[in-house]
Structure 1
Amino acid sequence: MEVKVRKKRAALSLVLGTALASGLLMVTAPAASAASCPSSWEPTISGAKGKWTLRCAGKDVVVSGWIEDTRADGKCARVHSIGGNGSEHQKQACGKGNRASFEWRYYNTDTAHIRLSIK
């Protein structure tokens, strides 16, 4: 009887540990937004922050904004964007306090997926 209880406890511990780990992964995942125009977002993650807007321009979407490296850790703040048409762009800012601006146009779409991360 005691062996069955131990096995059940071990299985429960595994399930709870997996759920906890999944939750932690979700919390530490890069900040991302998938949006259509017009919209704006101002994400902050550990080591980076940014601000961007999506605006419609005819049949296109224009993504513009900035990112900033907020920690002296030897890593760079990075923004990566994929337009609804499949085109991709990226920009990075390296060194604490450094900021980089960007503006990208995605043709024949009104959506873009944008992600802030550290690399």
Structure 2
Amino acid sequence: MSAVRKTITSVLTAAVLTGGLALGTAGPASAAGCGTSASPVIDGASASWSIRCSDSRMTIAGWVQDTRADAKCALIRIHAGDNPPARPEACGSGVRKNFSYTFKAKNVDARLAIA
């Protein structure tokens, strides 16, 4: 195999591996409104939450679980309007943490990740 072909193959392989690693560390974001729910699963983490509303407030409540013994934590990045972000996390394989946050907002953006 020529040096040029080896270089191109190496670059393409690195790009594919990097893309796969990036995709494997975060679940899909969900900008959600009242009455919605999600149960994302990624390699090393799982979660479930629902969103309910009362007056002008939104509450996101559920759980996050670490599913792999890898010295990383499962977490959910939660953003709602101008409120400070919330970040419930579970650390240690099999550990599950319940959470509940209430915001004054019109929608909530939540993303499952590992870190």
Is residue 78 of structure 2 the alignment partner of residue 81 of structure 1?
Answer: yes
Letter in 2 for 1:114: A
Which among 100, 103, 106 is matched to residue 103 of structure 2? Answer: 106
Tell me how far 1:27 sits from its aligned partner. 3.4
Which among 10, 31, 35 is matched to residue 34 of structure 1? Answer: 31
> Which residue number in structure 2 is paired with residue 4 of structure 1?
none
Tell me how far 1:30 sits from its aligned partner. 0.6
Unmatched 5+ stretches in structure 1: 1-8
Query: Which protein is richer in helix relative to its size?
Result: 1
- Classify the secondary structure of the residue corresponding to 1:71: coil
Report sequence identity in percent.
35
> Which residue number in structure 1 is paired with residue 50 of structure 2?
53
- Classify the secondary structure of the residue corresponding to 1:24: helix
Unmatched 5+ stretches in structure 2: none
Whichever of the two has the greater Rg, that structure is 1
- Aligned residue pairs total 109
Query: Which protein is richer in strand relative to its size?
Result: 1
Q: Which runs of 4+ in 1 moved over 6 A?
A: none
Letter in 2 for 1:27: L
Tell me how far 1:79 sits from its aligned partner. 1.2
> Which residue number in structure 1 is paired with residue 111 of structure 2?
115
